[in-house]
Amino acid sequence: MRAGAPRKAFHGFLRLRQVRNFHASRAVGRQENGVELSRTRNIGIIAHIDAGKTTTTERMLYYSGHTRRIGNVDEGSTVTDFLPAERARGITIQSAAITLHWPPRATDDSVAGDSVPSLNNQSHRINLIDTPGHADFTFEVVRSLRVLDGAICILDGVAGVEAQTEKVWIQADHHQIPRLLYVNKLDRNGASFRRTVRDIASRLHVWPAVCQIPWFDGAGKLIGLADVVGLRALKWVAGSDGRVIESIPLQSLKSHDTVLAMEIAKAREALVEILSEFDDQLVESFLDNDQNHLAISEHDMLHALRRCTLHDPQRVVPVVIGASLKNIGVQPLLDCVNRFLPAPSDRPSPKVQLDQAQPILDDVLSGEAIKAYLEAQKSRSRKAKNLATRRPMALVQSMESLSLAFKVVNDAKRGVLVYVRVYSGALSRNSNLYNTNLKLVEKATRLLEMYASDAVDVPQIQAGQIGVIVGLKHARTGDTLLGHVGRASVPPPIDSLQLQPIVVPPPVFFVSLEPQSLSAEKQLAEALAILLREDPSLSVSTDNESGQTHLAGMGELHLEIATDRLINDLKAVVSVGKIEIGYREAIIRTSQVQAGVYDREIAGKRSKASCSVVVAPRQDEDLSNMSGNDDHTVMLPDENLLTIRMADEFDARLESGSDNPSTLTLPSVIQAARNGVTAALARGPKMSYPLYGVHVQLSFDQASLSSDTTLGAISGAARSAASHALKNSVETSGFVLMEPLMLVAIDVNEESMGPVVHDLSSARSGQVMSLDLDEPQHDASSDSDFVVDMRRVYTPPDPFGDNGTGTESIARSPVGGRRRNITAKVPLREMVGYLKTLRSLTKGRGSFTMAVDTFERMTPAQQKRMLAG
């Protein structure tokens, strides 16, 4: 419903005519070059599993005119869940990126709009990413959050705030992403908007700005919502697929539903009060209107809500409601996306890596960061001084575009699709893209924009937009792609320019893969390469003794889906072993000094390097002791630490250029050494598990560098020396196994708490950390100075039960009594198959999430039992 839309009186209501459907291909003709950046929204949908993310997304596509029918999760007909495994299981596994427009762009005449005045009534382009809700696919959420400007967090109105909801909320906090909350499934038995609002305040630690309240008829059926901001009620007409909505102004509503009209007035007062604490302009409007909460204009309310939503840190979150499966509430939700969530231009400039510095991108594009780099070169070698003569803005102008690859998909029809977010410039078709991570150039031969299941070729992807590059052979998730003008090689320092990488969590489960024939072995390798490009949270290793290939992942379901895709989609002929736990090895004592020499002739060219390595158990003070000296310290996966010590003669020859090939620079030497040491630490000398908590001390002397030295030789020497040092330590002092210790968050009803706690502590060797009521808490996850006063949180009444009104406390949830949140630390070996046990103990009402907290040393008895099988 938009301002100025045709509408007619209908028994006291404003009846809005049906929005005309049209296909995406018809709209694309007047395409994106005309869409201003201020009317672009890059948003994601985040939630606990089964909260209704995909169901809501399908309605968004339908009402915006980009699909002709509503996809159904149970039928397997959804647009965003396109993998066979997703449709078979009814869950989202891979995040799906699609584009829609809201309000729908007109074809022949103006599209029926909203009678609600918007901040901008023009059509907005919404780049939408639907993310998984299952904890095993958290990496999919993390890499999506990396490129988003805003997010919709969907809550199940029956379950309220769940364990995975809190987890993704904290992740969004970490990325400083503005959010709004959509309380879904309020048509379900047991749903409680009142309890969910209190959940938001007590568990997410933000002020819920209740912008809508549910409207039930006399039989308790959800028929619409009350718009607290616009002071109206909206009723969805049955049998219209949610397309026909009747609007009743507050004055007319008083004679139609007095109770709802009174509740709207209470909700408006509460909304004004909470917004006034964080927005001075609304206070002025309140005073200008003689302190009358209902007299404040909708325009002023919308702008106050937007300012509070975009404030960093976000203290106030708009809360809206609906029942997506019943087609209620989705259009107003889309309105809120346009009104409250930010455009790319509203977001702060991202941090980048430029050589050894970490400026923001705006400082690079202004030339300031490059100027600082060039100034620093003047005191260095002759080669570096030559760089200092370059003009900063000339280097900036050679950058045509800067993009981040955040997702890689192997499409059966189109080939490899690389999803990118463009951060500066314009990514053009046929442009040369320099991958600053892999140090290679690829051509963007084809660019696409995704409209539901349709892909549309476009000549450019502008800054702030999300699009797809077809045909890149090497780009991976997290790579920075630099569009460079000219045929010359990319000069420093912009050849080192990288957007912040996407951090991959350590895998904790693995399975063995055995190809069933020699011909199947090559096919398996190719299929695994595709799988790893799509999902970097998977990893592959080979057991040197057995020759088995191991595939590691985040959880049981994650590996089950990955192997299913390997066999059924990628047609690998392979036998899959049982799921096992990814333990770690740790050394006990310091090794003797071990030398590593790499001296080979490859394609008629000599490649030579050497170094020495000592390994020791990492101590907590190792990092602090490194400050103030000339050593180079690098953090590695699994809490490992690398210290690189260079003899003065080595450092001087590297800087002076004497006997130093032009490809060798200090950053490249450090990276090559890191690559070699990381490879050595990936396989322990005793059990072939990765190493944990090792301090590797690597030294280069004068003889390490010669005219034959290459980066590959440095990496090979570092790997050889580190491997020998690890073997020496284990042979002389033994080793210990480390097991993953999981931080487990369990949500149960109170009556099941006793059996669950007993099972954790007695049967699973767990340590219960806390037992929190799902009730008022004075705590904040990210800022101890910020407290939500639960006594002042507005909670509208539910249609059933003795729940009072206003801000009174609610003691019990509608179904199953009060909820308890159990936090415990449990060894991963005890959590295998835990979901079945939890369901049995809680009569199907419990849920849990877990993440690696740390790796803990196993006792000799535990290690003996594990080794015995």
Residue 457 marked ligand-binding = no
Concatenating the DSSP letter of every residue in 505-522 gives PPP-EEEEEEESSHHHHH
Residue 186 marked ligand-binding = yes
Residue 221 marked ligand-binding = no
Residue 659 marked ligand-binding = no
Query: Which positions ≥6 away from 437 have C-beta within 8 Å?
Result: 476, 478, 479, 480, 498, 501
| 566 DSSP 8-state letter | I
Compute the half-sphere exposure of residue 103: CA atoms within 13 Å on the CB side of its CA. Answer: 23
Residue 288 marked ligand-binding = no
Residue 187, both tokens: 């048509």
Residue-wise burial string across 81-93, b where 16 or more C-beta atoms lie within 10 A, e elsewhere:
bebebbbebebbb
Residue 842 marked ligand-binding = no
Angle between helices 258-276 and 298-310 (to 10 degrees): 50
CA distance readout (Å), 286 to 82, 299, 821: 49, 13, 40
Residue 254 marked ligand-binding = no
What is the phi/psi pair of residue 520, to 5°?
-75, -20
Residue 2, both tokens: 């938009």
**Residue linked to tokens 């923001």:** 360
The CB density around residue 297, as the number of other CB atoms within 10 Å, is 11
What is the phi/psi pair of residue 863, to 5°?
-65, -40
Residue 51 marked ligand-binding = yes
Query: Which positions ≥6 away from 313 have C-beta within 8 Å?
Result: 173, 176, 782, 783, 786
Find, among 10, 273, 42, the residue nearest to 147 by Cα. Answer: 42
Query: Which positions ≥6 away from 106 have C-beta within 8 Å?
Result: none
Compute the half-sphere exposure of residue 807: CA atoms within 13 Å on the CB side of its CA. Answer: 17
Residue 342, both tokens: 């930010």
Residue 469 marked ligand-binding = no
Residue 98 marked ligand-binding = no
Residue 256 marked ligand-binding = no
Residue 257 marked ligand-binding = no
Residue 53 marked ligand-binding = yes
CA torsion, ordered 290, 291, 293, 294, to nearest 10 deg? -10
Residue 134 marked ligand-binding = yes
The CB-based long-range contact list for 518-523 (8 Å cut-off, 24+ gap) reads: 520/572, 520/573, 520/574, 523/571, 523/572, 523/573
Residue 133 marked ligand-binding = yes
Query: Which positions ≥6 away from 182 have C-beta within 8 Å?
Result: 56, 152, 153, 154, 155, 320, 321, 322, 329, 333
What is the phi/psi pair of residue 280, to 5°?
-65, -30
Inter-residue contact 698 to 644 (CB < 8 Å)? yes
Query: Helix or strand or coil: residue 370?
Result: helix
Residue 132 marked ligand-binding = yes
Inter-residue contact 840 to 748 (CB < 8 Å)? no
Concatenating the DSSP letter of every residue in 61-77 gives HHHTTS-SS---TTTT-
Residue 806, both tokens: 């206003």
Burial class of residue 719 in the structure, from the number of CB atoms within 10 Å of its CB (0-12 exposed, 13-18 middle, 19+ buried): buried
How far apart are the C-alpha atoms of 293 and 590, rounded to whole Å?
A: 71
CA distance readout (Å), 662 to 196, 600, 646: 62, 20, 19
Residue 48 marked ligand-binding = yes
**R_g of the chain, CA atoms, integer Å:** 29
Q: In what order do the strands lie in the sheet with 640-646?
A: 594-602, 605-617, 694-700, 640-646, 632-636
How far apart are the C-alpha atoms of 795 and 208, rounded to whole Å?
A: 9
Find, among 781, 696, 701, 689, the residue nearest to 736 by Cα. Answer: 689
Find, among 93, 97, 190, the residue nearest to 559 by Cα. Answer: 93
**Residue linked to tokens 């770690």:** 584
Q: Three-state secondary structure along 240-295?
A: CCCCCEEEEEHHHHHHHCHHHHHHHHHHHHHHHHHHHCCCHHHHHHHHHCCCCHHH
Please report, as a single letter, which amino acid is at residue 323: A
Residues placed in the known binding site for GTP = 47-54, 130-134, 184-187
Residues placed in the known binding site = 47-54, 130-134, 184-187
